[in-house]
Amino acid sequence: MDDSLLIIDSKQELAGKLAHHFNMHGWDVECVEDIKSAQHMLLNQTFEPLVTLADINLPDGNSLDLLEQVREHGDIGEWVLLTNDGTIPDSVRALRLGAYDFLERPCSVERLEAILNGARRSARAYRQLNDQREAGNRRYVPDAFIGRSESAQQVRRFLSRLVEVPFSALVISGETGTGKGLVARIMYHSGPRSSGPLIEVNCAALPRDLLESELFGHEAGAFTGAKGRHRGYMEQADGGTLFLDEIGEMDLDLQSKLLKVIEDQKLIRLGGEKTIKIDVQIIAASNRDLEQRVLNGEFRDDLYHRLSVFRVELPALRERPEDIKDLVPLMIAEFNAVADRQVKVVPADVYEKLCSYNWPGNVRELRNVVERAVLLSDSDLFPKHWLQLNNGLEQDEDGPHMDGNRLVIPLDGSMALDEMDSYIIQTALERNSFNVTAAARALGTTRETLRYRIQKYRLHTEAEGDEPEVHARQN
C-alpha cells in the first residue's frame, strides 16, 4: 500500500517545502492549490491518497465541503485540516465528517509529522478492513452455494431473494457439514448489514455460565474472576449480525434471556444496571430438528417462532450427488493453489465412487477427501487410491479396531478427524454398557461434552431392549 499524501494549500511555497520534507520521509506526495483541482483529482480517482492535508479556507471554497463530497463518494482516507482562525463550528463539523485531526497554524513540522504518521496508520488499518470486507462480499454471494441439483438451485433462489430484504431473524437447519456457516456468511456479506460487524458464536462450545457472560457481557465484580467490564457478543454485534451456531444446545433458562433481549432490542450486562440499546440481526443454525426439540420440551417454542421469521433447510450431499461434479473441481483448484499441486484430471471411476458414497459428513467430508488426495498427489491425475471410502463396509485390520484394551486408529489419511472422534466415542459407549457417565469418565471428559458429541454424530446410545438415555427428557 502506497504512503500517498495529498496537500491542498494555496500557499505554494509552504506546500512545496512540506512536499519536499514528506517526500524525503517516504511519502508519495501530490500538491494542488485549490478546491477545483482537488475535486478533479479525488472524484475522478486519478489520485487516491492515504492521507489528505488540507487548508480549510481556500480561494475557491471550503475544504470541509470537499471532505463531505468525497465521503459521499466512498473516500476512506484520513484527513488532517489546517486553519489560521479555527472556529468551534468548523472543528465540530470536521469531527462529524470523520477528519483525523483539526490543527491551528502555526504548527511545527515535527508535530505535523507525528500526526500524519498516526493518520497513516489509521488509514492503513481502515483500508485493510475495507478490502477484507469487499473480498468477503465478492466471495460470499448466493452463487457460492454450489450445485446443479434442483435442491441446490432452490437454496440459491431463496438466498438471492433473502439478501435483498432487511430480515430480523433466520433459522438454518441441516445435517453437520451441509454448509450452514457458508449460508450465514452469504446472508451477512451480501445483505444490507455487511458494513456492520459479524459475530459468530458456537453455543455448544461454551459452558452455560460462560456463554451467558459472553453473550450479554458483564461488569467488573459480577462474578469471581470478573476483573473488568466485558462487552458481550450481542453488544459487539450492534448494527450487524450475530450468528448463533448450534443454538439447539443452549440451556432453556438462557434461551429465555436471549428471547427477551431479542424482543426488547436492549440488554443489561451481568452485574450491571444500565440498559444498553442494540440493533442486531440474528442468524441461528442447528443440525438438530428444532421443531422436534420444541415438542420434546428441549427448546422454547416462543424463541423458535421468534427466530424462524425465515427458515432454510440445507439438503444432505447424498440427496444431491450430481452436485459432486461441480464441487470437486473447485476444491481441487483451491488445494492446488494452497499446496502447489497440479491435479487436473479426475477419472470417471473416481466420480463413480464419489457419487455412490453415502457422505455422512456431507460437503465437509468431501472437502476432507479432496484435500487428502490433492496434497498426496504426485501427478496431474486425481489419485484414486487416496479416496479410501469404506462405503459402510466393515473395516479391516488396517482400519480402526480394538487390540485388547487398546484402540488403534490409522493415521494414513483414511479417516477424517470427525470419523476418529465418533469411532472413539461409540467404542467407549459400547465398552461401558452405554453408560454415558462411565464413558465420559473413561474418556476424561464431562458428561455434558460427551452428550453434545453423541448428538452431533448421532451415535447409538443404547443396547437393544434398553431404555434410551440421550433423548430422555430432563425435568
User: Can you list the domains of the chain with their CATH numbers?
Assistant: 4-136 (3.40.50.2300), 141-315 (3.40.50.300), 318-386 (1.10.8.60), 400-411+418-475 (1.10.10.60)
Mean pLDDT of the chain: 86
Instruction: Please check whether residue 309 is in contact with residue 168, taking contact to mean a CB–CB distance below 8 angstroms.
Output: yes
Yes or no: say if 262 and 306 are a contact pair by the CB < 8 Å rule: yes
Q: Are 389 and 368 in contact (CB under 8 A)?
A: no
Q: What is the mean pLDDT of each run of 10 residues along the chain (475 residues)?
A: 83 89 90 90 84 89 88 82 78 83 85 90 80 66 94 96 94 94 94 91 88 92 83 94 94 95 94 93 94 93 96 95 95 92 93 91 92 92 86 49 71 74 86 83 86 83 44 34
CA atoms 63, 66, 71, 77: torsion sign: negative
- pLDDT the model gives residue 137: 57
Q: What is the pLDDT of residue 465?
A: 38
Sign (positive/negative) of CA torsion 392, 393, 394, 395?
Answer: negative
Please give the backbone phi and psi of residue 78, each rounded to the nearest 5 degrees, phi first: -95, 145
Instruction: Give Cβ neighbours of residue 64 (< 8 Å, ≥ 6 apart).
Output: 56, 81, 90, 93, 94, 97
CA 52 and chain centroid, separation = 33
Return the DSSP state at 400: S
Complete edge-to-edge strand list for the sheet that includes strand 241-245? 198-202, 241-245, 281-286, 169-173, 310-313
Amino acid, single-letter form, for residue 14:
L
Q: pTM for the whole thing? A: 0.62
How many percent of the chain have pLDDT more than 90? 48
Q: By the 8 A CB rule, do 81 and 99 touch? A: yes
DSSP count for the chain of H helices, then E strands: 18, 16
